[in-house]
Amino acid sequence: MGASTTQVATSESTEKKPKKSRFSLHTRRDKVVLALLLGIPAAIHVFFVWVPALLSIVLSFARWDGIGGVEAIEWVGVTNYEQIATIYPPFWPAVTHNFIWLGFFIFIATPFGMFLAVQLDKELKGSRFYQNAFYVPVVLSLALVGFIWQLIYSPEEGLINNLLGRTDPENLIDWLGNPSINLYMILIAASWRHVGYIMILYLAGLKGVDPTLKEAAAIDGATERQTFFHVVFPVLKPINLVILVITIIESLRAFDIVYVTNKGTNGLELLSTAVTNNIIGEASRVGFGSALAVILLLLSLGIIIPYLWRTFRADEKAA
Amino acid sequence: MAKIETPSDSSGPSISRRNLIKGAAAGGSLLVVPSLLAACSDDGGDTTTTAAAGDTTTTAAGLPLAGTTVSVGSNASDELTKNAYGAMFDRFQEVSGAELDINTVDHNTFQEQINTYLQGQPDEVFTWFAGYRMQFFADKGLATPISDVWSAELDANFDPGFKQASTGLDGEQYFVPFVTYPWALFYRKSVWEEAGYTVPTTMDEWVAVCQAMEADGLVPIAFGDKDGWPAMGTFDYFNMRINGYQYHVDLMAHREKWDDPRTKEVFATWKDMLPYHQPGALGRTWQEAAQSTASGDAGMYLLGMFVGEQFQEFSQEARDDLDFFAFPEINPEFGQDSVDAPIDGFMLSKEAPNDIEGAKALAAFIGTGEAQNYYTAVNSNWLATAKDADTSGYTGLQNKALELIGSVDNIAQFLDRDTRPDFASTVVLPSIQNWLNDPEDIDGITASMEEQATAIFATEQ
């Protein structure tokens, strides 16, 4: 309070340029308010996100069954990492599957969602209906999506095998049990939801594109395809960035749909399920699970940081 | 409160107490009632005052544990089981005068959170499983021993096998057996009678039945391992029939090796039988496999007796038609001398000493046939463990299961209850699934299991 009264007094005494002194500087009160408004959320964030993350890194060098206090923790150096890389069978499949997931989403599901958005942006007849139909799965949790698709894929009682008439032991297709195809079946189920999500985001972006740009392109004789790739797509750069980041995040945090299907075993290994399987429940290999979590963290940072860094640097240069 | 604790005459406190209880109930704070009641009887050293004081406490008067409140953590979350447990707990409150505070948690959640639960402020008595899983928490100091209850009350009422399954590594008892069920090969009597199959007791007879079923267009052995644990039962039985119960125990404790030729023999024998198993097991839940047996598409199914729930769901006719036989003999040295029969029961947590008399009284009560019959009456897929349990209401299947368990020398608890949980779920489960995808690779899978077992069991000093 003292500061603000001084400030008022100062501005009164220097009446010639009151505005400048008043608005160019933050008063101490402003600073306190700013510090509180940014500081409290930052402190909460650091405490609940970065402290546990750092503790996970510390625990990844330990062997601990989660029972007893700190004194029960045995420090084992990089043993956990060594074992993960050498004798833990689910690890390499899990890394591979995470990358397959990422590739499938980036090259198939997300472009398809964008394609649907572009089609719906044309104000076709009944586009509201299509829009809703594609969007409905997004409101379902991935765990629920997993349950729905299990009913479709089930070997004897499932929809697909019954439609194909392949429910006999000799010819049935084991969609979720055959490890060479089940990952892709799960990816289809996950995409069912992801496509709708991307579609609605992109559609929102498309609605914001200035129509005169498209008209100008049309007058210049551009085809629809050219208009999209050379005019609309570059204009939507911020949206494209958001969509790419969302796609990467969704791929790396893939968990629930696989966990409800078979807890991430038999062809559906993912880093996230490997972490969970080692840490929750009675099977508390806290150190081992933490080491897996650290690997997932590094992988995520390794993919997303260079991309954001490059993009933001390019933006700064342009500006 | 002060008024209640100092009863002055026969009418005064009784009125105020009633009003208070009424008020508490009306205020919606029903939770207050037990503590009020407890407060009422705390002053009950003077029995005449308590008796005169009013109807709410007369039943509790004179009972040994009036005023004690014991909290119970229960994983009995499905309606039927919850009600059966409820009836049993009510009966205990009636006979003992103690109050029970029951906290029921979803079955799987209870299991997943058991570590944090037991280290936090657990209920004094909690539902758990016999075998290694009990010993693990006992060893960590998270349970209270009840050896005195065993020597005073339970010893006489249980077969030695049950006592052994309740004993921790330090020789003290930590567990009260409640109910159990056997794993066996289940089938529909009418299907077998119609086709003229006879129950096999040896491997050769078993193969002959499987071949006959195949010729008749049946899937001989239903199989579903999507969840990973059902195949553990199959592994257990091949192992116990080929190498005996002691080898099973030693292998689970990693005193024997997973890449031992005897362990490989288990996989090799299983591999020979795989062609008779329902294909595509890794995409099928146990419920679906059970349904295919109930519908008569499959000839038999190796599972726990809880398979009856699925038969019941299929039709009453299928449920009445359900029968089983013990896993056939493979190695004559061991015959059919072991059975997988997991025991569910109760343990006392580290909080139990707060109300130790009440907790131990409850433990003793759970070990009576009277208590266990509350459960077996509503769920005919389980058996009481106490000797004095009333079996007159048992179905034919229950009697047969009782006979099976009584006739064998060794009772195993099932793979994931007989070994470290971090080994069973993170190593054995995915390894068996991987092997089912590539049954030829016995050497590869057993070598990998041994490597991981060595790493995990290394933590034990």
Please tell me whether residues B107 and B11 are part of one structural domain. Answer: yes
For residues B155 and B216, state if they share a domain. no
Q: Over the stretch B2-21, which tens digit does the pLDDT of each residue have? A: 333 333 333 333 333 334 33
| B23 vs B15: CA distance, rounded Å | 12
Contact B433 A266 (CB under 8 A): yes
Q: How confident is the model at residue A23 (pLDDT cuts 50, 70, 90)?
A: low
Query: For residue B280, which residues of chain A lie inside 8 Å, CB to CB?
Result: 155, 169, 172, 174, 177-178
A266/B430 touch (CB, cutoff 8 Å), yes or no: yes
* Parent domain of B348: 3-180+343-407
Distance CA B236, CA B412 (A): 9
Distance, in Å, from the CA atom of A141 to the CA atom of A132, rounded to the nearest integer, reads 17
A-chain residues near B219 (CB < 8 A): 169
Q: Which tokens hold the place of B154?
A: 């339970």
Nearest chain A residue to B292, by CA = A156
Chain B residues in contact with A88 by the CB 8 A cut-off are 452
Q: Does any domain span residue B398?
A: yes
Residue B22 lies in a domain: yes
Q: Which residues contact B211 (CB under 8 A, 6 or more apart)?
A: B220, B276
Pairing relation of β-strands B219-222 and B298-304?
Answer: parallel
The pLDDT score that the predictor gives to residue A73 is: 85
pTM summary value: 0.77
Q: Which chain A positions have a beta carbon within 8 Å of B424's beta carbon?
A: 283
Q: Which two tokens stand for residue B247?
A: 């080898």
Cα angle for residues B449, B450, B453 (degrees, 5° grid):
85
Average pLDDT, chain B: 84
CATH of the domain at B85: 3.40.190.10
Q: In B, which residues are within 8 Å of A280 by CB distance?
A: 112
Q: Hey, which residues 166-205 in chain A have their CB within 8 Å of chain B?
A: 169, 172, 174-179, 182
User: CB A266 to CB B111 under 8 A?
Assistant: no
Residues 21-50 in B contacting A (C-alpha not used; CB under 8 Å): none
Region of residue B215 (left: phi > 0; alpha: psi -120 to 50; beta: else): alpha
The H or E element that residue B420 is part of is none
Contact between A174 and A267 under an 8 Å Cβ cutoff? The reply is no
∠ CA B364-B365-B368 to the nearest 5 degrees?
A: 95
| Domain assignment of residue B20, yes or no | yes
Q: Angle, nearest 10°, between helix axes A28-45 and A2-13?
A: 140
Whether B238 and B249 map to the same domain: the answer is: yes
Say which residues have a Cβ less than 8 Å from residue A279's Cβ, sequence separation at least 6.
A66, A285, A286, A289, A290
Per-residue pLDDT at B100: 92
Contact by Cβ (8 Å): B70, B98: yes
Query: Distance (Å, rounded) from C-alpha B452 to C-alpha B461?
Result: 17
Stretch B388-401: mean pLDDT, rounded?
91
Domains located in chain A, CATH noted: 20-75 (no CATH), 90-284 (1.10.3720.10)
Q: What angle do CA B417, B436, B211 make, to 5 degrees?
A: 105
Mutate: best of A87, A180, A259, A279, partner B, most B CBs <10 A: A87
Q: Any residues with CB less than 8 A from the CB of B118 and at least 6 apart, and which? A: B126, B137, B142, B143, B349, B350
Query: Does the residue B412 lie in any domain?
Result: no
Q: Do residue B7 and residue B144 come from a single domain? A: yes
Is there a single domain that holds both residue B126 and residue B28?
Answer: yes
Looking at the structure, tell me whether residues B302 and B328 fall in a common domain: yes
Tell if the CB–CB gap between B226 and A88 is shorter than 8 Å: no
User: Under 8 Å CB-to-CB from B11, ≥6 apart: which residues?
Assistant: none
Is the model more confident about B441 or about A280? B441
The H or E element containing residue A74 is strand A74-75
Mutation test of the interface with chain B: which of A65, A83, A156, A263, choosing the one with the most B Cβ atoms within 10 A? A156
- Does pLDDT of A104 surpass 90? yes
Record: contact A155-B284, CB cut-off 8 A: yes
State yes or no: pLDDT of B211 exceeds 90.
yes
- The Cα–Cα gap between A279 and B377 comes to 38
Does the interface predicted TM-score (ipTM) exceed 0.85?
Answer: no
3-state secondary structure of B173: strand
Q: Give the angle subtended at the CA of B423 by the CAs of B145 and A252, to the nearest 5°.
A: 125
Instruction: Please give the order of strands across the beta sheet that includes B175-180.
Output: B99-104, B69-74, B125-129, B343-348, B175-180, B383-384
Nearest to A282 by CA among B75, B449, B113, B254: B113
For residues B98 and B163, membership in a common domain is answered with: yes
DSSP single-letter state for residue B315: -
Q: Is residue B100 domain-shared with residue B234, that is, in the same domain? A: no
| Minimal-distance CA residue of chain A relative to B455 | A83
Tally of domains within chain B: 2
pLDDT at A312 over 80: no
| B415 occurs within a structural domain | no
Res B270: pLDDT: 97
Q: Find all residues with CB under 8 Å of A201, minimum gap 6, and list them.
A: A117, A239, A242, A243, A246
> Do residues B268 and B261 lie in contact, with contact meaning Cβ atoms separated by under 8 Å?
no
Contact flag B279-A282 (C-beta cutoff 8 Å): no
The whole-number pLDDT of residue B14 equals 38
Which residue is closest to B424 within chain A, CA to CA?
A283
Do B267 and B309 lie in one domain? The reply is yes
* Domain-embedded: residue B72: yes
Q: Could B292 and A156 be called an inter-chain contact, meaning their C-beta atoms sit closer than 8 Å?
A: yes
Q: Distance (Å, rounded) from C-alpha A1 to C-alpha A295?
A: 50
Domain contains B414? no
**Euclidean distance between CA atoms A317 and A313, whole angstroms:** 6
Q: Is the pLDDT of residue B187 over 90?
A: yes
Residue A9 has pLDDT above 50, yes or no: no
Cα gap B312→B380, rounded to integer Å? 11
Q: What are phi and psi of B302, to 5 degrees?
A: -85, 110
Most A CBs within 10 A among B422, B433, B445, hence the mutation to make, goes to B422
Read off the tokens for B50: 């308590």
Verify that B29 and B98 share a domain, yes or no: yes
Q: Does B306 lie in the same domain as B193?
A: yes
Asked if residue B56 has pLDDT above 50, the reply is: no
* Conformation bin of residue B296: beta by default, left when phi > 0, alpha when psi is -120 to 50: left
Cα–Cα distance measured from residue B426 to residue A286, given in angstroms and rounded to the nearest whole number? 13
**Contact A283/B448, CB-based, under 8 Å?**
no
Interatomic CA distance for residues B415 and A92, integer angstroms: 27
Chain B residues in contact with A63 (beta carbon < 8 A): 459
Task: Tell me the nearest-neighbour CA distance from A170 into chain B, angstroms.
Answer: 8
Q: Over the stretch A288-309, which tens digit does the pLDDT of each residue have?
A: 999 999 999 999 888 888 877 8
Contact criterion met (CB < 8 Å) for A156 and B288: yes
**Is the per-residue pLDDT at B425 higher than 60?**
yes
Q: What CA–CA distance (Å, rounded) separates A255 from A263? A: 9
CB atoms B448 and A176 under 8 Å: no
- Residue pair B30/B101 in contact (Cβ under 8 Å)? The answer is no
Helix (H, G, I), strand (E, B) or coil at B129: strand
pLDDT digits (tens, 9 = 90+) for B345-354: 999 999 888 8
SS3 A255: coil
Q: Flag whether B413 is in a domain.
A: no
B322's enclosing H/E stretch is: strand B322-325
Backbone angles phi, psi at A78, to 5 degrees: -95, 15
The β-bridge relationship of strands B298-304 and B125-129 is: unpaired
Residues B61 and B169 in one domain: yes
> What is the tens place of the pLDDT at every residue in A110-142?
999 999 998 888 878 888 888 888 888 888 888
A26-60 confidence digits (pLDDT tens): 788 888 998 999 999 999 999 998 899 999 999 99
- The candidate with the shortest Cα–Cα distance to B294, out of B188, B416, B418, is B188
